[in-house]
Amino acid sequence: MKALILAGGFGTRLRPLSCTRPKILFPIVNKPLLQWTFERLTKNKIEEAILAVNLQTEVFIKQHRISRCELHIAYSRDPVKKPLGTGGAIKKAEKLLGHDTSFLVLNGDIFADLNYREILKIHEEKNAAATIALHEVSDPSRYGVAELANDNRIKKFIEKPLREEAPSNLINAGVYVLSPEIFKYIPKGRKVSLEREVFPKLTEEKKLYGYVFDGFWMDIGKLEDYLKINKILLGSFANQQKYKIGSKVKIKKPVAFDKGVSIGEKTVIGPYAVLGRNVIVGKNVHIQNSVILPGTTISDFSSANGSVIGENVIIGKGVKIGEGCVLGDHVKVRDNVSLARRVSVCPAKEISESVLTPKSII
Ligand code: GTP
């Protein structure tokens, strides 16, 4: 089975970090999301992946030199400045996917621990045109919601319903198996939404099925989700990590350090802190519940709590960065500045005064 990874969106909800990297390259516990996906495909014995990208994303991925994990990779590119949407991107990859067998489609921005062979099995048993992996959540209103009949057929599929109008708590987990007949349902050469245009038509024709799974699932659509997934995975993986840090540093597990991290005396790291490659942390710093991307420097007596700090950021001395703050790449924060809560700073900005209320600095 071939896999198509949808990766040509703009990740607008993840700004300012997505201004300078596509969503699929966001590091999760110091490993790009795409790398996690490649590893999962290989584990499921899938040998060929097609990346549905835009030009910018393709360039970023190639520069990043992610390990292919023995996968054969091909690119299918949306036309410049004309995103094709989730359906249009599938149609664009028609030749690469071929008409011989069903194929797997993954939203590039999700993390889903499911067995691809099992969803394929349901798909084949039901002779479906499309089978959607469904996951139960407490609030389905941010997602596409499915109502299932007894035989796993999807009776109704509604995109982002009001909470009280959601027909169930089973949401579209962003993993599908599609049969080649799907291409007939997608008009060529224009933007098409799989979820809003194609799935409702398949529901009417009784060709859409669901596969409910209960493994770990998360999408990283919003910054809160990004912090949360780092936190969850830190909890499950990071305790096995070995690192060498000076004896005068206090580590509260779980934490993760990439290569080249240096930390000054009397600094407290954790719980739930991810420090990327070559991050430099001064003395008497406190970092908890935060993700710090590679190459950033945090100077003495500063603190970060509940925040995401981009690449190559320079944080002066005595700076306080509070809950929900996000700093884009190459931002500079001068000494003694406080960013209280939900302050979002665009890449390369310099901040010399405190910001005490939620605000976007562009
Ligand atoms: P937001 O702007 O924050 O909503 O993000 P998005 O558009 O990147 O994400 P959305 O959740 O709407 O898309 C689901 C998946 O489909 C993501 O992995 C996107 O990268 C991908 N995707 C969305 N639109 C397109 C598109 O026009 N072309 C391609 N090739 N992929 C797309």
Asked whether residue 240 carries a pLDDT value surpassing 70, the answer given is no
Beta bridge partners of 298: 281, 315
The mean of the pLDDT values for the chain is 94
Catalytic residue chosen out of the listed positions 160, 191, 250, 253: 160
Active site residue 45: no
Query: Which one is predicted more confidently, 236 or 118?
Result: 118
Query: Relative to the CA of 13, which ligand 1 atom is closest?
Result: 3
| CA distance between the termini of the chain | 44
Residue owning the nearest CA to atom 29 of ligand 1: 8
3-state secondary structure of 357: coil
Give the residue among 291, 303, 297, 277 at the shortest CA–CA distance from 234: 291
Q: What is the CATH number of domain 239-361?
A: 2.160.10.10
In whole angstroms, how large is the CA radius of gyration of the chain? 22
Q: What pTM did the predictor assign?
A: 0.93
Q: Report CA(109)–ligand 1 centroid distance (Å).
A: 8
Domain(s) labelled CATH 2.160.10.10 in the chain stretch across 239-361
**Does residue 132 contact residue 148 with C-beta atoms inside 8 Å?**
no
Are β-strands 314-315 and 297-298 bridged in parallel, bridged antiparallel, or unpaired? Answer: parallel
Pair of tokens at residue 42: 């290989």
Asked whether residue 192 carries a pLDDT value surpassing 80, the answer given is yes
Give the residue among 130, 174, 176, 185 at the shortest CA–CA distance from 153: 130
Residue whose tokens read 């949407």: 85
Query: Is the CATH number 3.90.550.10 carried by domain 2-223?
Result: yes
Query: Relative to the CA of 77, which ligand 1 atom is closest?
Result: 30
Q: Which amino acid is at 178?
A: L
The per-residue pLDDT for 11 is 84
Q: Report CA(311)–ligand 1 centroid distance (Å).
A: 23
Handedness of CA 247, 253, 255, 256 (dihedral sign): positive
Domain(s) labelled CATH 3.90.550.10 in the chain stretch across 2-223
Give the residue among 56, 61, 52, 74 at the shortest CA–CA distance from 26: 61
Q: How many percent of the chain have pLDDT more than 90? A: 86
Residues contacting ligand 1 via CB (< 6 Å): 6-13, 23, 52-53, 78, 83-86, 89, 107-109, 221
pLDDT mean over 30-51: 95
Query: Relative to the CA of 108, which ligand 1 atom is closest?
Result: 18
Asked whether residue 244 carries a pLDDT value surpassing 80, the answer given is no
Residue whose tokens read 């169930």: 168
245-288: pLDDT as tens digits: 767 889 999 999 999 999 999 999 999 999 999 999 999 999 99
Sheet holding 290-292, edge to edge: 255-257, 273-275, 290-292, 308-309, 326-327, 343-345, 359-361
3-state helix, strand, coil in the chain (%, to 5): 25, 30, 45
Q: Report CA(9)–ligand 1 centroid distance (Å).
A: 3
pLDDT mean over 291-300: 98
* Backbone φ and ψ of 333, nearest 5°: -120, 125
Q: Report CA(84)–ligand 1 centroid distance (Å).
A: 10
Integer Cα distance of 22 and 54 in angstroms: 10
pLDDT mean over 176-202: 95
51-91: pLDDT as tens digits: 999 998 999 999 988 888 789 999 999 999 899 999 999 99
pLDDT mean over 119-127: 96
The per-residue pLDDT for 241 is 63
